[in-house]
Amino acid sequence: MSREAHEHLGPMIFWSIAIAITVIACAVLFYAAAGRGVNATEPQTEDANSHFRLLLAGIDADLASGKLEADQALAAKAELAREMLRSKGRMAGAQGRDLGRGLQLAGLAGVAAIAFGFYAILGSPDMPAQPLAERPEIVAQSISLGDAIAQIEARLAETPDDVRGWTVIAPAYVETGRYGDAVNAYRQVLALSAPSAEVETDLAEALLLDAGGSGSDEALDLLRNVAATDPANVRARLYLAAEAMRTGDYETAGTYWREAIGLAGGDEPWLAAAREGLAVAEAGGTDNLAGQQAEMIQSMVGGLAGRLAAEGGSVEEWTQLVQSYIVLGDLEEAQSAYDAAIAAYPAAFDRGELDTLALSAGLTLNGGTQ
């Protein structure tokens, strides 16, 4: 069979199967919905009321001959009238079932027509089925970032003016640490599209990452341009403030820190760091906050040391005091506190954790008995 004949045969087979299934389904629905009576049909005469007229004449004859009393004849006629009404009701029900069956047929035919009509518009029975592994949603779930980058690179090699491809691959390069490639990708985006503050900031970020902490004049020029043209761009101001702090230009850093903080809504994750950076910039590069924290720790440690010297304490409290001095780098005070702890707890088995901490920090056992 030729390829062309095969291509024509495929849709024909599809439609044949679809029609057969629809017909079978409609037949099943019709059979299930149709009312089925037992001995529902009765032979019909030309005059449906002739039988009742004969019975009525018989009652009158029996009344005239004396076989029936007047009240008996009246009761017989009443029963005959009720039977006539029941007979008419059965005939009307049969007609109703015929009408309902016709509506069922019409409804099922309409459903089939609508189904085929919609599929003719929306479906593509002549198209081959797409393998599951090749469907885009499955590919997107299984492909790795490296494979995705390789595919985009292959397409960009064929169509280097695809700005969408460069836009997608640039942040992927940053994510994988390929900062030089990210710089090139962002340059391509700027060259192929209208100027954008966000893309210029992205390029500046890639340049700074590629510089590895040594700074970039091109990045600073880009960031200054963004800050001047986009009053609401926070990211550019944060980078400018950080670079000014790196070079010791605390006045400029303070300006950009204030601008960034002024644009914050109050719950940004970078806000605390920006406020701390502003405090350091206003102090001329001195981290007063760190100094304040150190003073607070010294005060707490001094209070603990005074209480233990005056009142004594548990081994755990002596261990905390020695550890605090070690963290502060004051090994002389740590040794003094360790000596006092040994005097308070001369038995070595009482000081297991304390001895381990002290000896690992270079302290010596020069007091008490062991």
pLDDT in tens, 50-105: 665 666 666 666 666 666 666 666 666 666 566 665 665 555 454 444 445 554 55
Q: What is the pLDDT of residue 144?
A: 85
Judge whether 325 and 331 are in contact, CB under 8 Å. yes
The model scores a pTM over 0.85: no
Q: Which residues contact 112 (CB under 8 A, 6 or more apart)?
A: 22, 23, 26
Burial track 213-242 (b if 16+ CB lie within 10 A, e otherwise): eeebeebbebbebbbeebeebbbbbbbbbb
Question: Rounded mean pLDDT of the chain?
Answer: 75
Q: Supply 34's token pair.
A: 């149709």
Q: What is the pLDDT of residue 261?
A: 95
Judge whether 125 and 15 are in contact, CB under 8 Å. yes
Q: What is the pLDDT of residue 68?
A: 62
The DSSP secondary structure of 35-104, one letter per residue, reads ---SS------S-TTHHHHHHHHHHHHHHHHTSS-HHHHHHHHHHHHHHHHHHHHHHHHHHHHHHHHHHH
Q: What is the pLDDT of residue 139?
A: 46
Is residue 45 scored above 90 in pLDDT? no
Q: Supply 226's token pair.
A: 């963004």
Q: What is the pLDDT of residue 163?
A: 93
Would you place residue 128 in the very low, low, confident or very high pLDDT band (cuts 50, 70, 90)?
low
Is residue 122 scored above 90 in pLDDT? no
pLDDT in tens, 212-247: 888 999 999 999 999 999 999 999 999 999 999 999
- Burial label for 92, CB within 10 Å (0-12, 13-18, 19+), is exposed
Judge whether 367 and 342 are in contact, CB under 8 Å. yes
Taking residues 153-172, report their average pLDDT.
94
Taking residues 302-313, report their average pLDDT.
87
Q: Which residues contact 299 (CB under 8 A, 6 or more apart)?
A: none
- Sole residue written with tokens 């390789």: 150
Q: What is the pLDDT of residue 50?
A: 61
Give, for 357, the enclosing helix (H) or strand (E): helix 352-360
Is residue 188 scored above 90 in pLDDT? yes
Is residue 181 scored above 90 in pLDDT? yes
For residues 284, 289, 292, 297, the Cα torsion angle rounded to the nearest 10 degrees is -140
Taking residues 256-270, report their average pLDDT.
92
Is residue 293 scored above 70 in pLDDT? no
Task: Give how far Cα 41 sits from Cα of 1, 38, 95, 102, Å.
Answer: 56, 8, 12, 18
Distance (Å, whole) CA 193 – CA 199: 10
